[in-house]
Structure 1
Amino acid sequence: MTTVGLDIGGTKILGAVVEEDGTILARGKRDTAAEDPTAIVAAAADLVDELAGDGDVEAVGVAVAGFLDRERERVVFAPNVSWRGESLRADLAALVRLPVVIENDANAATWGEFVHGSAKDVDDLLFLTIGTGVGGGVVTDGQLLRGAFGMGAELGHMRVVPNGRLCGCGIHGCLEQYASGTALVRSAQHLVASGAPEAAVLANRCGGDARTLTGRDVTDAAMQGDPAAVGLLAELGRWLGEGVASLAAILDPEVVLIGGGVSQAGALLLDPAREAFTEHLTGRGFRPQARLLLAELLDDAGVVGAAALARDLVRTGR
């Protein structure tokens, strides 16, 4: 069965035609008119038409960067798109004349990894994406965790530091303020701005202007052996591992996947995360311990997961 997966973000709409085994047959992209909900739906429908062509596409799955209602009919709120109670599922289905399913983008990516990625051999999964923020999702007993109101698994907004850094969500001390790509860049910029000798490599990368330093700069420097950059990634990894230990005490996953842009650092991030996870895990030494692995699908996880959810919709009606 062939389905289309879309991933609608604040600046672009990514799309793909996906086979039953997760193989991507075709790709497409449109810009997101973030201030015009009607234009977004029209662009998404146009992309579906382009991707479907004369092919045998049976349904469309849409990954959305926002909060959805429990029934997966409406986008209740999206921070980077002017969606407020938008009936996305019905509006898009009316244009493409195909069954449509919508899902939070982090949940869709989690489902992609669960069905076709690094976690396809397990039933209980915790997935964290480390990028600008910290996103993620949970699969328990083979089912996505959505919560009573459809807004569960906001993993990056677990509070880890009372009265800590102010988060964009309005709460102080969220995990993503310490374990995200944004947190990594903030720490690196502070180091460069301090003029410390150990920041010389990073300072050279940004020409001495700490404001232009990027997460890619830090990761590249670390992968080339710069001790300061390695230390910054290790600090982020420790925060991540501690957060995962708290989540594991509640969810008891078999596998914890780490994805997102910062995960490209590989062992430089994963090794300190594993160490901190083991150190802070409740009952360590007397219980099975989840495996911490890197995600496999990378930027394709959202569209592949959305397409897989569309396939489920056709087969089960939900």
Structure 2
Amino acid sequence: MDRSFLRRFHANSIFHRIRIQPDISQREIIERTHFDKSTVSSIVNEFIERGLVERRAKASASGRGRPTEGLVISPASGLLVGVEVEASKLIYVACGLDGTVLAEQVLPFDGRLDDVEIAITTGIDSVVSLTGSGAKVLGIGVSLPGLVANDGKLVHVPVLGWRDVDILGRLSQRCTAPVYVGNDGKAAAMAEHMFGACVDMDNFIYLFSGSGVGGGLFLDGTVYKGAGGLAGELGHVKIVPQGRFCSCGASGCLAAYLTESALIEEISRLGSVRPTSFAQIIELAEAGEPIVLNVLEHAGEVLGSAISSLINIFNPPLVLLGGDLSAAKPYLSGSVDKALRRLAHPAMYGENIVKFAEPGIGGPRLGGIALALNGVTDIAGSHVLP
């Protein structure tokens, strides 16, 4: 195994353990992670030297004997900023290293490539000022709705029509803090592992929808990237032969049936109502609008078909559905379940395998924060994550 990857994996895992279990001792980290004692000691010492982690006295459970030392995230360590790029807006989140959200902001985005780095960086100072903190920004994570290669190049963003953009280089030139970039689906999967429904899970599949459909394969404790860093484009799994055309240029993709724009087009094609947003689609569904309910039911069938293929290939303990999918749970879950019972191998599918994420916890909203946190704690120094 590549040594830099192994060092990165160890460092991220150790910091994650300290963050979710404050006051944990080095011995307890070794017991929990099964990492070598010298590896844990070396990485913890480096975190302490960098001011990210502190030691403090930890009283024994019995209250007797000498207190041991516990490890905690340093409260003065600094800030992280996450930026989620969507087709028509930029979502900013500022956090401490413990993942506590301190401020959020949403700004409109016109989708222009010419000054994309200006558009992305404009809101960073603003969201930092909203925190009221004078702490240093240690890292900026930018999650992008397209293919991000290992060299930081944005290969293709179908929803915006971008191709071959040195996004890491352009952002790094404008930002004073280190920048970390990654695909939004993989970043959201990392966020679920760090902050959401998949803490302490080493294997799961994450799938979400919004202006696009993305996801991540979290396998053996890390996001699977593939040969060039492009793996996990779950929104472009082909589901319907000769089906609807997708923004990627192909037809029959899952994204062509689940994105906000795809649902709006199908609802307006079948009826006289044209929703203006996904939120309005849900409002119409809650009001019992038959066409909207039928469109969502069909979308659930297509989604269930895609999930069944993922289950049959990967045999995951969990498939987590987030983004707009979680908001549409009441209108998708029935048809998703029917498709899964029909198409997934019964030996691999059980009632607790597919779950809808809790809105606002982990997922796309904190994808940029996950990239930044992973980057700041990445001793190997990679800027393209996961």
Q: TM-score range by the shorter chain?
A: 0.7 to 0.9
- The Cα of 1:188 is off from its aligned counterpart by 3.0
Q: Which position in structure 2 is the counterpart of 1:66?
A: 146
Q: Which residue is equivalent to 1:10? A: 87
Q: Indicate the residue corresponding to 1:47 in structure 2.
A: 123
- Call closer, same or farther: CA 1:187–1:314 in 2, change over 3 Å: closer
Structure showing greater radius of gyration is 2
Find the counterpart in structure 2 of residue 199 from structure 1: none
1:32 maps to 2:112: no
Q: Is the 8 A contact 1:131 1:260 kept in 2?
A: yes
Q: Match for 1:161: what amino acid?
A: V
Are residues 29 and 263 of structure 1, via their aligned partners in 2, closer, same or farther at CA, if it must alter by over 3 Å? Answer: closer
Residue aligning to 1:250: 313
Three-state SS of the structure 2 residue aligned to 1:277 is: helix
Write the distance in 1 (CA, Å) between the matches of 2:367 and 2:277: 29
For residues 291 and 109 of structure 2, the distance between their equivalents in structure 1, rounded to whole angstroms, comes to: 38
- The Cα shift of 1:273 comes to 0.9
Q: Indicate if the aligned counterparts of 1:58 and 1:314 stay in contact, CA closer than 8 A.
A: yes
Deviations 1:190-234 (CA, angstroms, capped at 9, x unpaired): 432xxxxxxxxxxxxxxxx34457654443233344555434322
> How many Å apart are 1:24 and its aligned residue?
1.2
- Secondary structure, in 3 states, of the residue corresponding to 1:60? strand
SS at match of 1:28: strand
Instruction: Decide whether aligned partners of structure 1 residues 132 and 95 sit closer, same or farther in structure 2, where only a CA change above 3 A counts.
Output: closer
Runs of 4+ in 1 over 6 A off after TM superposition: none
C-alpha spacing 1:308/1:265, structure 2 compared with 1 (3 Å): closer
Letter in 1 for 2:338: E
SS in 1 for 2:181: strand
> How far apart are 1:21 and its partner, in Å?
3.7
In structure 2, the CA distance between the partners of 1:171 and 1:20, relative to structure 1 (3 Å rule), is: same
* Among 219, 224, 232, the residue aligned to 2:282: 219
Instruction: Kindly indicate whether the alpha-carbon contact (under 8 Å) linking 1:129 and 1:260 is maintained by their aligned counterparts in 2.
Output: yes
What is the identity, as a one-letter code, of the residue corresponding to 1:239?
V
Distance in 2, matches of 1:62 and 1:267, equals 31
**What do residues 250-290 of structure 1 show as CA deviations (whole Å, max 9, x unaligned)?**
122221122222432323212321232132112x0x34636
On the 8 A contact 2:172/2:179 being kept in 1, the answer is yes
What is the number of equivalent residue pairs in this alignment? 298
2:342 is aligned to 279
Counterpart of 1:259, as a letter, is G
Whether the 8 Å CA contact 1:113–1:297 is kept in 2: the answer is no
Superposed CA RMSD? 2.7
Sort the Cα spacing of 1:40 and 1:182 in 2 relative to 1 into closer, same or farther, 3 A. closer
1:172-251 alignment runs, 5 A limit: 172-192=251-271, 209-211=272-274, 215-226=278-289, 228-251=291-314
SS at 1:258 equivalent: strand
Q: Which moved more, 1:297-306 or 1:130-139?
A: 297-306
2:237 maps to 1:155: no
Amino acid aligned to 1:173: G
Whether the 8 Å contact between 1:74 and 1:86 is mirrored in structure 2 is yes
1:303 and 1:219 map into 2 onto residues whose CA distance is 20
Q: Percent identity?
A: 29
**Which residue is 1:114 aligned to?**
193
Does the CA-based 8 Å contact 1:259-1:298 persist in structure 2?
no
Separation in 2, partners of 1:139, 1:84:
26
1:139 corresponding residue in structure 2: 218
Other structure's SS at 2:124 match = helix
Mark the runs of 5 or more structure 2 residues left unpaired by the alignment.
Answer: 1-76
Matched, 1:267 2:330: yes
Alpha-carbon distance in structure 1 between the residues aligned to 2:179 and 2:118: 14
Between 126-135 and 109-118, report the one with greater CA deviation: 126-135
Aligned-partner Cα distance in 1 for 2:349–2:238: 26
What secondary structure, in the 3-state scheme, does the structure 2 residue paired with 1:13 have? Answer: strand
In the aligned structure 1, how far is the partner of 2:215 from the partner of 2:173?
Answer: 30
Matched, 1:294 2:356: yes
Aligned equivalent of 2:3 = none
